[in-house]
Amino acid sequence: MYITKYARKVTVIVLHDVGIVDCNRASAEKAFNNPKIEFVWNSVLAEIKGKGEVESVVVKNLKTGELTELAAHGVFIYVGMIPGTDFVKGKIELDERGYILANEQMETSVDGVFAAGDARVKYLRQVVTAANDGAIAAVSAERYLDEEQSFKDEVVNVDKPVALVFWSPASNESIDMASRLDALIAAAGGKYKVVKVDVSRKKRIAQKYNVEVIPSILLLEKGELQLQLNGNVDDDTIKAQLKI
Ligand SMILES: Cc1cc2nc3c(=O)[nH]c(=O)nc-3n(C[C@H](O)[C@H](O)[C@H](O)COP(=O)(O)OP(=O)(O)OC[C@H]3O[C@@H](n4cnc5c(N)ncnc54)[C@H](O)[C@@H]3O)c2cc1C
């Protein structure tokens, strides 16, 4: 139906018996009544002919074996609507039809696994949207690897316990608390390494530790959570809780 908007005539080659098509009845009736569409039943495409561009096709009748050549200017292989996602089935979240669920950043249900293109649940499956997804997925994957590496370098593989402070440029109190924490720990002889996480740029670390309140302070040892202070806490509370 869609191709008849652009083509003078559309020939649909169907491998089933007369009148049987793999779509709902309402769409089938519309197609049968469209004067631009003709059907060739019990047949498959055997060959596409042409020099540089399509000039004709050879159609094979599956019942008689007869080959018929039809003039054509284009061929659209209707490959069906089953996404080839079996290799990730049971590993990442799919919808009931087998399409991969991925968010705006192309993140799937599994940390570090990204999806792009027709295999995703999406509104429009076209080259331009697939390329768009691909660009986003590539940037997301690059940021993911970068965040993972800097987390290991700055938080996990360090000698001291780490005081992670989650702040955001949109929250003045979080900026203030980050510098107060810095000063308090410095005054106490640098018992902890202070790492400041800007949640507007690095959301993953906050998600990893379920940090929902900005500011928050987390005390970690080799990446393991020891203590969590949510909200804008005063100096005395910080000193008492961090034992500094
Ligand atoms: C007949 C037809 C006409 C179309 N016409 C247009 C059009 O005019 N304009 C338009 O914008 N879009 C059109 N589209 C849609 C467009 O082709 C797709 O939206 C686009 O190609 C999707 O890109 P993709 O990279 O997600 O998937 P694909 O282009 O399908 O690429 C996926 C690739 O992954 C490979 N692959 C699959 N499984 C595995 C595996 N397990 N391991 C390794 N590789 C694997 C496949 O072989 C394939 O090469 C058309 C589609 C069809 C079928």
pLDDT value for 141: 97
* DSSP H or E stretch at residue 168: none
pTM, entire model: 0.73
User: For a pocket test of ligand 1, which of 106, 126, 129, 132 has the largest count of ligand atoms closer than 8 A to its C-beta?
Assistant: 126
Q: Which atom of ligand 1 has the smallest separation from the CA of 84?
A: 38
- Establish whether residue 84 lines the binding site of ligand 1, counting it when its CB lies within 6 angstroms of any ligand atom: yes
pLDDT value for 167: 96
Backbone CA torsion sign across 214, 215, 220, 223: positive
Atom 28 of ligand 1: nearest residue by CA position:
118
Q: How does 6-40 read in b/e, with b if 16+ C-beta sit within 10 Å?
A: eeeebbebbeeeeeeeeeeeeeeeebeeeeebebe
Tell me the pLDDT tens digit for each residue of 86-120.
Answer: 999 999 999 999 999 999 999 999 999 999 999 99
In which residue ranges of the chain is pLDDT below 70?
Answer: none
Q: Which atom of ligand 1 has the smallest separation from the CA of 134?
A: 25
| Alpha-carbon distances of 145 from 66, 148, 184, 219, rounded to whole Å | 57, 5, 32, 23
Q: Is 206 exposed, middle or buried (0-12, 13-18, 19+ CB in 10 A)?
A: buried
- Establish whether residue 26 lines the binding site of ligand 1, counting it when its CB lies within 6 angstroms of any ligand atom: no
- Establish whether residue 74 lines the binding site of ligand 1, counting it when its CB lies within 6 angstroms of any ligand atom: no
pLDDT value for 207: 85
Q: How many angstroms does the Cα of residue 76 sit away from the middle of ligand 1?
A: 13
Q: Which atom of ligand 1 has the smallest separation from the CA of 125?
A: 19
- Establish whether residue 202 lines the binding site of ligand 1, counting it when its CB lies within 6 angstroms of any ligand atom: no
Q: How many angstroms does the Cα of residue 64 sit away from the middle of ligand 1?
A: 33
* DSSP H or E stretch at residue 227: strand 224-230
Q: Which atom of ligand 1 has the smallest separation from the CA of 118?
A: 26
Q: How many angstroms does the Cα of residue 79 sit away from the middle of ligand 1?
A: 10
Token representation of residue 125: 């499956």
pLDDT value for 80: 73
Q: How many angstroms does the Cα of residue 51 sit away from the middle of ligand 1?
A: 24
Domains of the chain, each with CATH number or no CATH? 3-71 (3.50.50.60), 86-152 (3.50.50.60), 158-242 (3.40.30.10)
